[in-house]
Amino acid sequence: MRLLLSLTALAAAAHPALAGEPARPPNVLFIVSDDLNCDLGCYGHMVVKSPNLDRLAATGVRFDRAYIQYPVCNPSRTSFLTGLRPTTTRVMDNATHFRRPLPDAVTLPELFRKNGYESIGLGKVFHRGLSPDDTKKEMDDPRSFDRVLYGQTTAAGNKGDGRNLTGGTLAWCRWLAAEGADGEQADGQLADEAVKVLGEKRDKPLFLAVGFYRPHDPFQSPKKYFELYDSSKFDLPKSPEGYKPPYPLSLAGGALAVAFDGFTDKERREFLHAYYAGISFMDAQVGRLLDALDKNKLSDNTIVVFLGDHGYELGVRNWWNKNTLFERSCRTPLIVRAPGAKGNGTPSAALAEFIDLYPTLADLCALKDVPKELEGASLRGLLGDPSRKHKDAALTVVKRGPVLGRSVRTERYRYTEWDGGSKGAELYDHATDPGEWVNLADKPEMAKTRAELSALIKTTEAGAKR
């Protein structure tokens, strides 16, 4: 017997008088934060202030080992919104729209729409930028939503104190403690619109996707969120003495690495300060959405999913970006609150992948005509019993020019192969080296483990472990 009933069945059980009538399908609030790593209070961070995500985690299932399939925005979002691995979608950059290689793919919001839901997309759900002329609107997907809104920072919201941390070398690497209220920023506008949507009367169930832009660069948030932190008290990231990445491919390098090498402690503290302020700003907007659910009496019939689209190194290895196959880029927050789930309030240490989200929501909402080619596995069982095992491994890939890197994460190890191992391999034992500083791949005593993990990459990618 399944550990968790579908929410439609739960609704009927909660209202016996309605047992003979079709139960109203659950709503879904799907929240994505851009470039967010696990530096949150609910994930044990001692500095970042994230009270609203902390309360969501306290009432849902917090996944402590959830891994994206590609550590860059567009490939990652394409993957979890189609339920397919990047090696299947063939989307491995920020320029390729998934409809080119996959014109007939049915996305997650599109499937809800086909099942009678009103599907609304606010902000950055699929990959798009935040620019005055909305130049990346073409990266969105009209088939997925009945209506969309993107938000746009106002002129007043672009005023304030700040600077570029690289002297202009990297245009994106800048922060701004902005004047004005939250509504002068795009994320504040998205929250305004989401609150309106949640207050509307409708005959259909709702799938509402809200893609917040922060803490993604430019690191711009209202000044009051900067004032939550004293950067002089931050612990700066450090590497072991003499550390060098195992291979040039391990980090993307190039102009970014040169600019980051020029950072002083002043730039490092300012970067952390602005990133943390962005998290707290985004967190406040999430709180408004949760409050709107309660105010409109929707919490008992709304599945809430919160996730980051990938992690962020944030200075580890002196890399102030994403796009690596290390833990900090591959692991990202995932919180799921399903009304009536027995696991709510209990964290899960099970390995999970973001391609699991599509089949999970389709399962919980009893959707019809679910694509047979989905490559993830429903997390439904973990929502009922967070202590159970889900899968043997999580797989993340990244492209470096013509070279594909594949990284598999198991209970104990992370193992990475560049070009099938011909361009290098990395093996880290998280039992003794959670920072992934010591590469064991060429140690003779690890040969058997390495061979097993190499085989696991192939079986995981092929789906043999589902």
- What local confidence, expressed as pLDDT, does residue 24 receive? 85
- What local confidence, expressed as pLDDT, does residue 8 receive? 52
- What local confidence, expressed as pLDDT, does residue 162 receive? 98
Q: Which two tokens stand for residue 89?
A: 């979608």
pLDDT digits (tens, 9 = 90+) for 182-223: 999 999 999 999 999 999 999 999 999 999 999 999 999 999
For this structure, is 173 an active site residue?
Answer: no
Contacts 24+ apart (CB under 8 A), 169-173: 169/255, 169/258, 169/259, 170/255, 170/256, 170/259, 172/217, 172/218, 173/217, 173/259, 173/271, 173/320
Maximal CA-CA distance, the chain: 70
SS3 243: coil
Q: Which two tokens stand for residue 164?
A: 């570029």
Exactly one of 38, 42, 45, 73 is catalytic; which is it?
73
Low-confidence ranges of the chain (pLDDT < 50): 1-5, 10-21, 129-136, 464-466
- What local confidence, expressed as pLDDT, does residue 214 receive? 98
Question: What's domain 7-392's superfamily in CATH?
Answer: Alkaline Phosphatase, subunit A (3.40.720.10)
Exactly one of 127, 216, 273, 390 is catalytic; which is it?
127
Q: Which residues belong to CATH 3.40.720.10 in the chain?
A: 7-392
346 and 308 Cβ atoms separated by less than 8 Å: no
For this structure, is 127 an active site residue?
Answer: yes
- The dotted CATH code for 402-466 is 3.30.1120
Q: Which residues belong to CATH 3.30.1120 in the chain?
A: 402-466
- What local confidence, expressed as pLDDT, does residue 4 receive? 40
141 and 125 Cβ atoms separated by less than 8 Å: no
